[in-house]
Amino acid sequence: MAIVKEAWVNRNEVIDESAEITYYVLETADEDAVKTACEADIPEDYDGLIKRHTRITARLNETTWVVIAYFTKEPWIWPDTRLSFDTTGGTQHITQAIETINSYGSKATAENKGAIGFDGKNVRGCDIAVPVFKWSETHYFYDFQITDAFKAILRNLTGRVNDDTFKSFSAGEVLFLGVSGNRQGDDDGDLWELTFNFASSPNRTGIEVGDITGIAKKGWEYLDIRYADEADEATSQVLRKPNAVYIHRTYYDGDFSTLGIGT
């Protein structure tokens, strides 16, 4: 069983304001056991100060650890997580209409199967607004949590989509746009403020393109329509009709649970 003893060295106190007290944890090789022992045996208060948190700072040998407990004058009030969002969406260039409502003129035909802006050679298409839900979450971290490994996780997940349900969105719907962070002060208790940015685009099923049906795509996959020439005898002209649809994956998947902000 792990034993916790005050070290009586490296004590750092600011009278009536804060204290950093060093402890040795003995007779255990397991880090989780160290944390459990500290939680149980290091007091919640010291000389009128309240324990904020504890941190393992060194491992002297296989079974001996150094832990620092941080105490402050008042109970620590963790800043609230801040959320913001917008649904202004994005734009997308499309070449295929959901439905052609009307057509006019002697050369007009319904045989182009919804192709937009065919000029005799190409299907020019048009730009439309598409549903994109963007949001930001601001969370707070201790300095010891912002490790090189954690920074690498943030870097590597930027530009990836969720491989599992995240914040109620289905796998494939959320794109991680990255994180920005700042920290004011360099005391151990000064927190990092990290703002995580996301965008969500809905998964879709039952898509129809011309005569091609049963198409499904995830939110951040790309739907690519190919066209081929086909004669329209009724109007004596050559049209371009959709003859193939490809769904391309343009972003890698990622495990968003490792962001440390819940799922």
User: pTM score, two decimals?
Assistant: 0.69
Distance between CA atoms of residues 92 and 165, nearest Å: 25
Signed CA dihedral, 113, 119, 123, 129: sign only: negative
Signed CA dihedral, 198, 204, 210, 212: sign only: positive
pLDDT digits (tens, 9 = 90+) for 75-92: 556 778 889 999 887 888
CB 256 within 8 A of CB 208: no
pLDDT digits (tens, 9 = 90+) for 98-127: 888 887 887 788 788 888 988 878 899 999
Q: What's the pLDDT at 76?
A: 59
Q: How confident is the model at residue 258 (pLDDT cuts 50, 70, 90)?
A: very high
Q: What's the pLDDT at 77?
A: 66
Strands 253-254 and 161-162, bridge-based pairing: parallel
What phi and psi, each to the nearest 5 degrees, are found at residue 241? -120, 150
Mean pLDDT of 132-139: 95
Task: Identify the three-state secondary structure at position 181.
Answer: strand
Q: What's the pLDDT at 150?
A: 95
More confident residue, 50 or 139: 139
> In this predicted structure, which of 28-32, 69-73, 248-252 has the lowest mean pLDDT?
69-73
97: Cβ contacts below 8 Å, ≥ 6 apart: 114, 115, 116
Task: Identify the three-state secondary structure at position 40.
Answer: helix
Over the chain, what is the mean pLDDT?
A: 89
